[in-house]
Amino acid sequence: MYLLLAAHSHGAALQQVTQAGDPHPDRPEPRLLSASELPGVVRYFETRPREAAPRWIWHRTQDWYPALLAAGVEVERCYDLSLCGTILAYSQFTAHTDYARQAEKAPLDDPQEPPRALQPPPPPADHGALFEDVRHRPPRHTLAELRAEYAAQQAALADADPQENKRKRLQLLLAAESAGAMIAAEMQHAGVPWREDLHERILADYLGPRPQPGHRPAKLEALNSELRALLNAPALNPDSPQELMRALHRNGIEVKSTRQWELMESSHPAIEPLLAYKKLSRLHSANGWTWLDAWVTDGRFRPEYVVGGVVSGRWASRGGGALQIPRQIRGAVHAGPGHKLIVADASQLEPRVLVALAQDSKMAAAARDKDLYAGIAAQGFGGDRAKAKMALLGAIYGATTGESGRLMPQLARTYPHAVGFVEQAAREGEAGGTVTTRLGRSSPPPSERWFRSQQSATAEEQRRAESIARSRGRFTRNFVVQGSAADWAACWLAELRRRLRALRAESGVQAELVFFLHDEVMVHAPEAGVTACIRAIEEAAAAAKELLFGPVPVEFPVSVAVVDSYDNAK
Cα(284)–Cα(220) distance, integer angstroms:
9
> What are the C-alpha distances in Å from 468 to residues 111, 199, 254, 400, 544?
10, 45, 31, 15, 36
- Worst-scoring range by mean pLDDT, 451-455, 496-500, 503-507, 547-551? 451-455
Task: Please measure the distance between the N-terminal and C-terminal CA atoms of the chain and give it in whole angstroms.
Answer: 44
> Cβ distance 63 to 139 under 8 Å?
no
The β-bridge relationship of strands 55-58 and 78-80 is parallel
Report, as an integer, the average pLDDT of 530-534. Answer: 98
In sign, the C-alpha dihedral spanning 318, 324, 325, 328 is negative
The β-bridge relationship of strands 520-526 and 339-346 is antiparallel
Cα(277)–Cα(236) distance, integer angstroms:
13
pLDDT-derived band at 173 (thresholds 50, 70, 90) equals: very high
Query: Of all residues in the chain, what percent carry a pLDDT higher than 90?
Result: 77
Structural domains in the chain? 2-190 (3.30.420), 197-292 (1.20.1060), 303-321+330-348+487-568 (3.30.70.370), 350-479 (1.10.150)
- Does residue 117 register a pLDDT over 70? no
- Does residue 184 register a pLDDT over 70? yes
Render pLDDT for 255-268 as a digit per residue (tens, 0 to 9): 999 999 999 999 99
> Cβ distance 80 to 177 under 8 Å?
yes
Strand partners, 339: 526
Q: Which residues contact 202 (CB under 8 A, 6 or more apart)?
A: 328, 329, 331, 332
Report, as an integer, the average pLDDT of 433-456. Answer: 91
How much is the pLDDT for 105? 66
Report, as an integer, the average pLDDT of 190-210. Answer: 97
Q: Compare 453 and 530 and report the one with higher pLDDT.
A: 530
- Worst-scoring range by mean pLDDT, 52-61, 103-112, 129-138, 342-351? 129-138
Report, as an integer, the average pLDDT of 530-537. Answer: 98
Cα(183)–Cα(306) distance, integer angstroms:
11
Residue 265: CB atoms within 10 Å: 10
Strand partners, 155: none
Query: Of all residues in the chain, what percent carry a pLDDT higher than 70?
Result: 93
Report, as an integer, the average pLDDT of 170-192. Answer: 97
- Does residue 137 register a pLDDT over 70? no
Report, as an integer, the average pLDDT of 356-385. Answer: 90
How much is the pLDDT for 459? 85
Cα(541)–Cα(560) distance, integer angstroms:
12
Render pLDDT for 14-51 as a digit per residue (tens, 0 to 9): 999 999 999 998 888 999 999 899 999 999 999 988 77
Report, as an integer, the average pLDDT of 445-456. Answer: 86
Q: Compare 457 and 374 and report the one with higher pLDDT.
A: 374
> What are the C-alpha distances in Å from 303 to residues 45, 119, 359, 515?
29, 17, 38, 10
> Cβ distance 169 to 439 under 8 Å?
yes
Cα(301)–Cα(84) distance, integer angstroms:
28
> What are the C-alpha distances in Å from 184 to residues 78, 292, 322, 484?
13, 21, 12, 20
How much is the pLDDT for 319? 79
- Closest listed residue to residue 541, CA positions, set 521, 524, 526: 521
How much is the pLDDT for 398? 85
> Cβ distance 106 to 118 under 8 Å?
yes
Render pLDDT for 271-322 as a digit per residue (tens, 0 to 9): 999 999 999 999 999 999 999 999 999 999 999 999 999 999 999 998 788 7
- Worst-scoring range by mean pLDDT, 15-24, 412-421, 445-454? 445-454
DSSP 8-state secondary structure symbol assigned to residue 459: H
pLDDT-derived band at 113 (thresholds 50, 70, 90) equals: very low
Cα(407)–Cα(532) distance, integer angstroms:
44
